[in-house]
């Protein structure tokens, strides 16, 4: 795997450069917004990437919480399977299908998304056993916060020339995104400054709570009145095919970049924990001879 890293780095750099060129030169200018709209090629892919990373953090945190007991692991496994089955069936029920269609979504797309939940769950559990689940959780949270920060920065940059203001107070999409960012920043602060034996469990519980805000952020512009633009994909939105091509290309580049950063951070976190464990063993080994010498010293007196 280490040999693949330089190759993937070159490929990712090429994708990022090509996506930037397409965003600035190839993509057509928006008829209403002008060239300022081009920031969506960074704003939207950053949001999608952050959501994916927070979802991985959510799944890894749940698996870490239930890993202590076999009964919990078995119960969580069947719950995830039930969510997948019930979700797929529900997507094709006539009332739900009608509501999805009116919102510009296809039932098959909804069902596919729900199926990905158990797939991700079992795949992560297989690839990251034991403490690696906790390492994966903290890694994806850190990288996800970075991409979420990009969302919060690029959004106001676009809003100032289009809306005339940097921020729309009370807007559900903007507020829920800020709350999501604050929750995961709190998660990282907890991981960084707490030395309790229960820190990992508390952080995992906080991550599960924070992930509940992701659906609110995503679906807020469909079910609430908001100043934020409607989605360009689904929800009755539309986009020029050339713009869609550049948008998906940018997201692919961002996903590759997020994967490389997460990979590097994951390996670094594993090394950090190995060093801490080695120091703890050295300290314990050094303390044992000192304790053993105490009775001898007393007897000589």
At 139-148, the pLDDT tens digits run 999 999 999 9
Q: Helix, strand, or coil here: 167? A: coil
Q: How many CB atoms lie within 10 A of CB 34?
A: 11
- Quickly list H helices, 132-171: 132-163
DSSP character at residue 196: -
Q: Write the pLDDT tens digit of every residue in 76-124.
A: 889 888 988 888 888 888 887 777 676 666 777 778 878 888 888 888 8
**Chain segment 199-213, per-residue pLDDT in tens:** 888 888 888 888 888
- Residue 5, pLDDT score: 80
Mean pLDDT of the 151-168 span? 80
DSSP state at residue 229: P
30: β partners: 34
Q: Please give the Cα distance from 128 to 131 (Å, whole number).
A: 8
Q: What is the DSSP string of 4-62?
A: HHHHHHHHHHHHHHHHHHIIIIISPPBTTTBGGGGGHHHHHHHHHHHHHHHHHHHHHHH
Q: How confident is the model at residue 299 (pLDDT cuts 50, 70, 90)?
A: very low
Tokens representing 50 are 């952050």
Contact 41, 19 (CB under 8 A): yes
The answer to whether residue 187 scores a pLDDT higher than 80 is: yes
The C-alpha angle 225, 229, 234, rounded to 5 degrees, equals 95
Predicted confidence band of residue 226 (pLDDT cuts 50, 70, 90): low
Confidence of residue 170 (pLDDT cuts 50, 70, 90): low
Altogether, the residues listed in the chain come to a count of: 301
């Amino acid at each position: 795997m280490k040999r693949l890293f330089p190759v993937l780095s070159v490929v990712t750099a090429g994708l990022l450069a090509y996506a930037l060129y397409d965003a600035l030169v190839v993509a057509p200018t928006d008829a209403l917004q002008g060239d300022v709209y081009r920031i969506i090629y960074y704003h939207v892919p950053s949001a999608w990437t952050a959501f994916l990373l927070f979802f991985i953090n959510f799944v890894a945190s749940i698996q870490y919480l239930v890993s202590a007991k076999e009964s919990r692991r078995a119960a969580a496994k069947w719950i995830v399977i039930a969510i997948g089955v019930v979700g797929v069936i529900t997507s094709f029920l006539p009332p739900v299908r009608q509501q999805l269609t009116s919102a510009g979504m296809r039932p098959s797309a909804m069902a596919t998304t729900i199926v990905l939940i158990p797939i991700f769950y079992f795949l992560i559990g297989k690839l990251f056993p034991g403490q690696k689940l906790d390492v994966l959780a903290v890694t994806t949270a850190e990288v996800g916060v970075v991409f979420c920060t990009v969302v919060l920065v690029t959004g106001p940059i676009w809003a100032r020339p289009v809306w005339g203001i940097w921020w729309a107070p009370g807007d559900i999409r903007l507020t829920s995104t800020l709350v999501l960012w604050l929750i995961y920043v709190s998660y990282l602060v907890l991981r960084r400054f707490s030395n309790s034996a229960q820190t990992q469990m508390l952080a995992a519980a906080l991550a599960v709570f924070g992930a509940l805000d992701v659906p609110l952020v995503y679906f807020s512009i469909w079910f609430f009145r908001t100043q934020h633009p409607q989605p360009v994909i689904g929800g009755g939105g539309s986009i020029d095919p050339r713009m869609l091509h550049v948008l998906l290309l940018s997201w692919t580049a961002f996903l590759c970049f997020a994967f490389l950063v997460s990979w590097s951070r994951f390996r670094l976190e594993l090394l950090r924990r190995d060093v801490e464990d080695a120091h703890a063993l050295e300290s314990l080994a050094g303390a044992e001879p000192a304790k053993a010498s105490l009775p001898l010293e007393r007897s000589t007196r």
